Structure 1
Amino acid sequence: MDALADVLDGVRARSADFCRAVLEPPWALRIIDGAALALATVLRGQAWVVPDDGEPVLIRAGEVAVIRGPQPYTVGDDPSTPPMLQVLAGNALRTMDGVDVSTAEALDLIGQAGPDQAEPEGATVVASGTYQVGGDIGARLLSALPGIVHVPRDPDVAPVLALLGAELDRDDPGQQVVLDRLLDLALIATLRAWFARPEAQAPGWYRALSDPVVGPTLRLIHDDPAHPWTLAELAERAGASRAAFARRFSSLVGVPPMTYVTGWRLTMAADLLRQTDATVETIARRVGYANAFALSVAFKRVRGTTPRHHRLGSGGPGHLTLAGSPV
């Protein structure tokens, strides 16, 4: 495992809401589904993603947009086209006046072709899916992304998008599981392509993965977070002196090595506390602490609350900082 793999493992599509829409200009949809992440690709034509507090982004055929929620936004044929329908969680539809409508009624309202009709020549075809992202590990990814990730045509992304588009045209047994996995692959391929772009400003933990000294040590930490890591051992594994290794790690990742180890352990512990019924003692040993008391001391020092209060939900939203630095 590495830092990206661990983060993506905490952000999986499970019974994701998929949609394949055929839309003729003028059209615009107000997206208010509250999803933490949405992935949209244009199979034909083009579409604009219009955030409430940012610049519109044009998505052409073969391109991908990953939109970070849960704030509402609009997708349309032109930034100036007023929304005609609201899209809620589960692909439920509502008029702009707040009246729930069926898919057939919605198509009739906006004058679009139905599923059994031929696609009009000038129509835009959009395929999209959403993630409901929870936990501190998922939040780690969200904090690394801008409001809209726009990836132009990319040779590593295109094959996955082709499979996704083809599957959306079918209605075979097990389709939901196939779509979930394809959405996972599409997100992974898109984020890889995005982080490789110079304008992405990828987080330090991602950039450091390609470093010949720091990258392998990050993989060691993620492979075995419960190991009693020390600065001396990490430096030895990296083949560098402690001082040189610490400087290089801090420069690339943004925090000192042992601060990173602590941050990752507590991020894992935070999710285990909320998502499992394992005892604090069990979780402590799983993430690298000798006992529940040691985990509680670290948790309180870094996060300002106890594991018990975090599990009960009284510790506030998970935060990804250690000593004022991003984890």
Structure 2
Amino acid sequence: MDVLSDVITVARTGRPRSAYVRWHAPWGQRFASVPGSAGFQVILEGSCWVLSPDADPLRLGAGDVLFLPHGSGHTLTDDPARPVTAPACTPDDAGPSGPHASDRVDRSGLGGPVTVVLCGAYRLDPSRAHPLLRTLPDLIHLPADPGRHPELHAAVRLLAAEVDTPRLGTGATVPALLDTLLVYVLRIWFAEQPTRGSTTGWAAALDDPAVTAALDAVHRDPAEPWTVAKLAAEAGLSRAAFARRFSALIGQPPLGYLTWWRMTTAARLLRATEAPLRSIAAQVGYTSEFAFAHAFKRTHGTAPGAYRREGS
């Protein structure tokens, strides 16, 4: 596993949800702030405006992708000057029975121009949120550009077709395509961040081959008895140079990140599997169940068994 793949796998919980909505002008819809979630809006046809509390109105056109990694509240409307009085919807009630794979919603107005939006949400576990996700802005806008990001637009087309016309296997296809869409959005955003001369931050870290090599090693095998020297060898740097560079970019020392990732992985395994504690301890690099339990409680504030019961 690479860093980005693991970030998504560990942080997301439950099934992503989506809906295909046709808006007929005049229209406006408020989307409530939902901490612990990430949302997206893809404009498939027509245009609209997105209004958010801390930004100027932004016009969206067909093919534009809007990603809200922190579940921030926002409004979509055909006219930024139009008052929106409808109650704010959440990821659980965007469609007639919630935005599942088969939701296709027609919101009729007065017969004006049509805007078609593919919207959806991912549930995230705040206790397993990766610092990479925390560095993202409240709103990420990827404008439509036929000559760029063909893989993103291909995923959008496939997803829109499945949600618009559910068929045999749609229930399995839509969650996979939603995860693919999320990967492409994050990959593009990080790839396009200006990192030249930057000495901190995850965008710079993912653009640094040495630090990325060490991160991939940790994520590939968290049970390995890693030391700073062994990670430096993965990075192709001296021990001191590697430790300085890793700490500067990531914001914590290599072994501090290793422990955090092991405990985050353990938290997911405790909630997502029925594996015994000794097995989970071994998977994250602990030969002693007692040592694992002590490290877990120090990180999460509760014992592994209690953490598992709380999530059941």
Q: Within 2, Cα distance between the matches of 1:289 and 1:12?
A: 25
Bigger drift between 132-141 and 41-50 goes to 132-141
Residue-by-residue CA offset, 1:97-130 (whole Å, 9 max, x unaligned): xxxxx967x63xx335xxxxxxx6x321211122
In structure 2, the residue matched to 1:159 is 154
In structure 2, the residue matched to 1:240 is 237
Q: Is the CA contact 1:15–1:176 (under 8 Å) kept in the aligned structure 2?
A: no
Amino acid in structure 1 at the alignment position of 2:110: G
Q: Is the CA contact 1:20–1:168 (under 8 Å) kept in the aligned structure 2?
A: yes
In structure 2, the residue matched to 1:18 is 18
Q: Within 2, Cα distance between the matches of 1:33 and 1:173?
A: 34
Q: Within 1, Cα distance between the matches of 2:302 and 2:57?
A: 40
- Identity of counterpart residues, as a percentage? 38
Give 1:218 shift.
Answer: 1.2
In structure 2, the residue matched to 1:187 is 182
Q: TM-score normalized by structure 1? A: 0.78
Q: Within 1, Cα distance between the matches of 2:289 and 2:275?
A: 12
Q: Is the CA contact 1:209–1:218 (under 8 Å) kept in the aligned structure 2?
A: no
Q: Is the CA contact 1:32–1:73 (under 8 Å) kept in the aligned structure 2?
A: yes
Bigger drift between 85-94 and 147-156 goes to 85-94
Amino acid in structure 2 at the alignment position of 1:245: F
Amino acid in structure 1 at the alignment position of 2:40: L
> Alignment partner for residue 173 of structure 2, among 170, 178, 182?
178
Q: Within 2, Cα distance between the matches of 1:237 and 1:103?
A: 51
In structure 1, the residue matched to 2:117 is 126
Q: 1:3 to 1:204 in 2, by over 3 A?
A: farther
- Size of the aligned set, in residue pairs, is 296
Residue-by-residue CA offset, 1:66-97 (whole Å, 9 max, x unaligned): 12454543211133323364434143469xxx
Give 1:139 shift.
Answer: 5.5
Residue-by-residue CA offset, 1:22-61 (whole Å, 9 max, x unaligned): 2233210122494712211111222222234554433222
Pairing 1:39-78 to 2, within 5 Å after superposition: 39-52=40-53, 54-70=55-71, 72-78=73-79
In structure 1, the residue matched to 2:80 is 79
Q: Is the CA contact 1:66–1:150 (under 8 Å) kept in the aligned structure 2?
A: yes
Secondary structure in structure 1 of the residue aligned to 2:209: coil
Unaligned runs of 5+ in 1: 95-101, 113-119, 315-327
Q: Is the CA contact 1:226–1:288 (under 8 Å) kept in the aligned structure 2?
A: yes
Pairing 1:155-304 to 2, within 5 Å after superposition: 155-156=148-149, 157-198=152-193, 204-205=201-202, 207-304=204-301
Give 1:138 shift.
Answer: 4.7
RMSD: 3.2
Give 1:224 shift.
Answer: 0.4
Q: Is the CA contact 2:49–2:59 (under 8 Å) kept in the aligned structure 1?
A: yes
Amino acid in structure 2 at the alignment position of 1:78: D
In structure 1, the residue matched to 2:8 is 8
Q: 1:143 to 1:103 in 2, by over 3 A?
A: same
